[in-house]
Each structure stands twice: as structure tokens, then as C-alpha cells.
């Protein structure tokens, strides 16, 4: 098992099938993520976790991931037994937080375990995965996105986000290459 961390980004009901911000293909990555969960030493899940009057609901996004609601829960298809930390972001009314590092204890958790490399999977490639990846780089982590275990809001914006992340120094791999590590 690799002594790196897997960060599962926002695999919540509101971003999955039937949710107000459904990301196309979200359900397809659940079994892939479930296999990844056993490959890494430390597994962390982030949750978009907004108050009911969050600023992003005014003009940017439909109401989603309201704290305490079913929509903010992780999809029940996801295997949660090895998830050690649940990191909630976007919890203040007036602040948007796409990155799992923003206003959270994520980097403290990673630093306290001596983690240097983080693997990212989840939703959405062009929003919270990208923000978490770029923030991870700026905090000095080696960041590897598992390309078959992420999905974007649209094909175009997802692809553009991948290009941008590559330019910034984010690495990419396939879930299969982690098997047996
Ligand atoms: C996200 C839109 C709004 C995400 C969060 O998790 O990608 N997208 N809030
Ligand atoms: Zn949000």
C-alpha cells in the first residue's frame, strides 16, 4: 500500500445522478474510486457543505450541498469504511471555497502524517478537483489526478481544466496503474 493520500473530492448526492448539479458520468466513477480506496494508506473525502443562504446560490449555482441535507451526503454507493477524515468546505455564508484546502484542516492533516504526494479523484474536474489540485501544488504537495476517476461539468470545460492543470505541474495517471502498489 502506498504511503500517499487519496483525496476523494465532493462525491456527494447533489453532484450525482438526479442532483441539482449532476455531473455527467458521476456514477461511473464510483466503482473506480471504491477500488482505489484500498490502494492508499490515507483516504480523505471532501464535502461541499454550504449554509442554506450561501452566496453561490444567488447567481452562480442552484441550491446544492446544504449542510445537514441528504444532498450533502456522500453517495451511498461509495465505500466509506477506510475514509479517515471528512473535510467540509464552503461552510461560511459569504465565502466560496472550491478547494478542499480553503478554510479547512486538510493541509494540517496531510502534514501531520508526513504525506508528500496526493492523488485526487471525484467531482468536478473543472471546479473543485482543479481548485484542490492547484492549491495542493501551491502548498508544496506532489499532485496526481486519476484521470479515469474524475468527471467534469462539461466535456469541454473538463478538458480545458486538464490542460490547465498540466501546464501548472499537476500529474495524471490511470487508476489501473495504482493496482498492487
Ligand atoms: C462544485 C459547483 C459548486 C464542485 C462545488 O464540487 O465541483 N461545483 N460547488
Ligand atoms: Zn458549492
- Domain around 172: 4-179
Closest residue (by CA) to atom 6 of ligand 1? 128
Q: What 3 state SS string does the chain have?
A: CEEEEEEEECCEHHHCCCCCCCCCCHHHHHHHHHHHCCCEEEEEEEEECECCCCCHHHHCCCCCCECCCHHHCECCCCCCCCEEEEEEECCCCCCCCCCCCCCCCHHHHHHHCCCCEEEEEEECHHHHHHHHHHHHHHCCCEEEEEEEEEECCCHHHHHHHHHHHHHHCCEEECHHHHCCC
Number of domains present in the structure of the chain = 1
pLDDT in single tens digits along all 181 residues of the chain: 557 999 999 999 999 999 999 999 999 999 999 999 999 999 999 999 999 999 999 989 999 999 999 999 999 999 999 999 999 999 999 999 999 999 999 999 999 999 999 999 999 999 999 999 999 999 999 999 999 999 999 999 999 999 999 999 999 999 999 865 4
Q: Which residues are catalytic?
A: 10, 89, 128
Substitution candidate for ligand 1 out of 48, 73, 75, 95 with most atoms within 8 A of CB: 48
- CATH (domain of 106): 3.40.50.850
Amino acid at each position: 500500500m502506498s504511503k500517499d493520500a487519496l483525496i476523494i473530492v465532493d462525491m456527494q448526492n447533489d453532484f450525482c445522478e438526479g442532483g441539482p448539479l449532476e455531473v455527467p458520468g458521476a456514477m461511473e466513477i464510483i466503482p473506480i474510486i471504491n477500488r482505489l480506496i484500498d490502494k492508499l494508506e490515507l483516504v480523505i473525502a471532501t464535502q461541499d457543505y454550504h449554509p442554506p443562504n450561501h452566496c453561490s446560490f444567488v447567481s452562480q449555482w442552484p441550491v446544492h450541498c446544504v449542510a445537514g441535507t441528504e444532498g450533502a451526503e456522500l453517495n451511498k454507493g461509495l465505500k466509506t469504511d477506510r475514509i479517515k477524515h471528512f473535510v467540509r468546505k464552503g461552510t461560511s455564508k459569504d465565502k466560496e471555497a472550491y478547494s478542499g484546502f480553503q478554510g479547512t484542516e486538510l493541509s494540517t492533516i496531510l502534514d501531520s502524517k508526513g504525506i508528500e504526494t496526493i492523488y485526487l479523484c471525484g467531482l468536478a474536474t473543472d471546479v473543485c478537483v482543479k481548485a484542490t489540485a492547484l492549491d495542493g501544488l501551491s502548498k508544496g504537495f506532489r499532485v496526481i489526478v486519476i484521470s479515469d476517476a474524475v468527471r467534469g461539468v462539461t466535456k469541454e470545460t473538463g478538458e480545458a481544466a486538464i490542460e490547465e492543470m498540466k501546464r501548472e505541474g499537476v500529474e495524471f495517471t490511470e487508476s489501473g496503474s495504482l493496482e498492487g502498489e
